[in-house]
Amino acid sequence: MQNQGRSASHVLLANALAYWSFAAGCSLVAIATSGRATYAQPASAPDLAKAISKRLDDHLENAEIAERPLRVVYFHPADVKPFEDYEERLTRIVLDIQEFYRGEMKRNGFGPKTFPLEMANNNLVLHVVKGKRPADDYTKDSGDQVEGEIEQALAQKFDLASEHVLVVNAMCKKREDGSYLFHAPYHGSGGAKSGICHVADCELMDTLHFKETEKRIRYTEMNGTRDQTLADFCCLYIGGIAHELGHAFGYQHNTQKPWERMLRGTALMGAGNYTYRHELRGRRGSFMTFATSMQLASHPLFTNTRTGLDQSPETKIEELKFSQQGRSLVVTGKIDTEIEAYAVIGFTNPQIEKGWLNRDYDSLTWNCEVKDGEFSIVAKINKPGRSGLKIRFCHLNGKQSSFKFEYAIDDKGVPSAASLNDDWQVQRVELTYLNGDREEATRLATNSLPNVTDDKAKAKLEHVAYLTAERKPIELAEVKANEAHLSESQWQAAAVGWGKPARDQYYSDSSIRDGVFLELGNTFYDRGLYAHAPSRYEFDLSGSWKKFEATAGLQKGVAERGSGIFIIKGDGQVLYTSKLLKGNATDAIQLDVGGVESLELIVESGKQGNGNCWTIWGGAKVTR
């Protein structure tokens, strides 16, 4: 009898893997064994890892070794002492995470690479910083404040702007009933040159408890209240450190494919923080996707070099075409870049309606080598609905360059190549505009209009010509029409929290090029005000307008940590205050301003600091 000695679940698992591998179009080789079940591995991954490793080795052959360890900072409020056994516990924790990274890099074919640490007498070097405020003054939104205090305290030791730093925050209260309250910042961001992540500490957080299933812990955090075993708690919170470190190194969320879930478990940069080290209890644990390892292979902390780290890739897409083969999306193209790209990753995310840049945990990755600037990606799983696509190029100096798109997928899972080609026509014009060549941007926009079918794409192309035309702000007192857009009007005062005030477009300069078009959710506004918090615009209405209306929110694609409270004043009196807006939340405002002489549009960040508070007033106008 076939499969003798194997359980029914093993047979189903093997059959499912075979199906998913066939559906994905993978050629199957290299049989791996786990327990009594056998699993087929995609043939391309080992070959791709080998080719990439060879190119990186050749590039770094004569590079000077410049090891930069991950810095670990222990931050505690002024009225809280470092938690019990913090030095020993954190040494065990960070060494475990270091070993996890090493093992996953090796498994994916890139050798036992991992990040270096500052060690002394077999203990992790911790830079302890005592905060200036009591514990109650720090919240999950205090990341910017904590970083400022760390930067000041450790100015003579290292510069946050040129290091990768793990900040462990002792912001956990044990309440009278024995439960815990976590109120620490918990996030990470960075890249090849620098990065920082914030995590929380607790005296119960320890690798020694990975198997402790008898004792339990009750606690409240930003995601609600939990009651779980000490083992699950430690796996989650230590896995959270491993996950946030990935963000500090510059890597975005991505999840496992169906066959990977059955074979390995949960991707670290997806929801892998929940399953970290579960394999120690006989469960499927966490793993690093090939795409994440492929990026880390060139990261300066993993190569121990700084070759070309101060150079920007300056990537230009010379050719780009989207097509559809059955239910697969095919992306082919050619790039020109100052720093050679060795690979490209396509991130496909089916949660566009929720803001795919913010909620990209379900992003699947599709990889290929870049040869002579040319590449071809095939994305084989496409769920019906709106989807996001990010194309990320990995460069030899550890840096990356990315391009973002949106596309539609029909009920049968067939992607719309046409919508992507429309999106590329718009993005090509937008990039030209951001690079400062406004005349060429207008020419491209005009020539592209006949080739696009999407109404929003057409509106954006037409808007570029509007932006490049000479315009003089109108005086509201002189307007005879029944409505006037405030972005076209002369303001009495204007100030924003980042960059400069801007009319009808998103702010950009030589270093910030996040886009031209004002967008809230999936809605494009051809009129509006860029208003990064804290911001204030003042207009003279002269008492001659009756209604004000606008849609308030944060620019599409900004980080989740951004927020804004929108306030409207008339003649110094508060007429309206919005709730705290975050992510894709918007507020459609209609307000009576009859008799108002001076109108003020104010945005406050709604948190400590104003990081990522890219707020805008969409379609702001007054009517008679």
Domain locations along the chain: 64-303, 316-467, 476-623
| CATH number attached to the domain at 64-303 | 3.40.390
For the segment 408-451, what is each residue's pLDDT rounded down to a tens digit? Answer: 899 999 999 998 999 999 999 999 999 889 999 999 999 999 98
Q: Which pLDDT does position 62 carry in this prediction?
A: 87
Per-residue pLDDT for 24 more than 80?
Answer: no
pLDDT recorded at residue 595: 94
The CATH code for residues 476-623 is 2.60.120.1060
User: What pLDDT, on a 0 to 100 scale, did the predictor assign at position 528?
Assistant: 97
| CA–CA gap between residue 246 and residue 295 (Å, rounded) | 11
Q: Are 254 and 295 in contact (CB under 8 A)?
A: no
Work out the pLDDT band at 611, boundaries 50, 70, 90.
Answer: confident
Structure confidence by residue, pLDDT tens digits, 228-264:
999 999 999 999 999 999 999 999 999 999 999 999 9
| pLDDT number for residue 351 | 62
CATH of range 316-467; options 3.20.20.140, 3.30.70.1450, 1.20.1110.10, 2.60.40.10: 2.60.40.10
pLDDT digits (tens, 9 = 90+) for 318-363: 999 999 999 999 999 999 999 999 999 999 988 655 444 446 888 9
| HSE-CB for 177 with a 13 A CA cutoff | 7
- 3-state helix/strand/coil string of 193-229: CCEEEEEECCCCCCHHHCCCCCCEEEEEECCEEEEEE
Structure tokens at 256: 């496992």
pTM of the model: 0.81
Q: Is the pLDDT of residue 19 over 50?
A: no
C-alpha 259/C-alpha 37 separation (Å) is 13
> What one-character DSSP code corresponds to residue 293?
H
Give the model confidence (pLDDT) of 522-566 as tens digits.
Answer: 899 999 999 999 999 999 999 999 999 999 999 987 767 789 999
Q: Show Cβ contacts of residue 517 under 8 Å, excluding neighbours closer than 6 positions.
A: 430, 460, 463, 505, 506, 524
pLDDT grade for 275, boundaries at 50, 70 and 90: very high
Task: Mention every residue, 6+ apart, whose C-beta is less than 8 A from residue 475.
Answer: 489, 490
Rounded Cα distance, 234 and 207, in Å: 7
pLDDT per position as a tens digit, 356-394: 444 688 899 999 999 999 999 999 988 888 888 999 999
Q: In sequence order, what are the residues at sequence separation of 6 or more whose Cβ sits closer than 8 angstroms to the Cβ of residue 141?
A: 185, 561, 563, 607, 608, 609
Burial of residue 63, with CB atoms counted within 10 A of its CB: 0-12 exposed, 13-18 middle, 19 or more buried: middle
Instruction: Report pLDDT for 607.
Output: 83
204-220: average pLDDT: 97
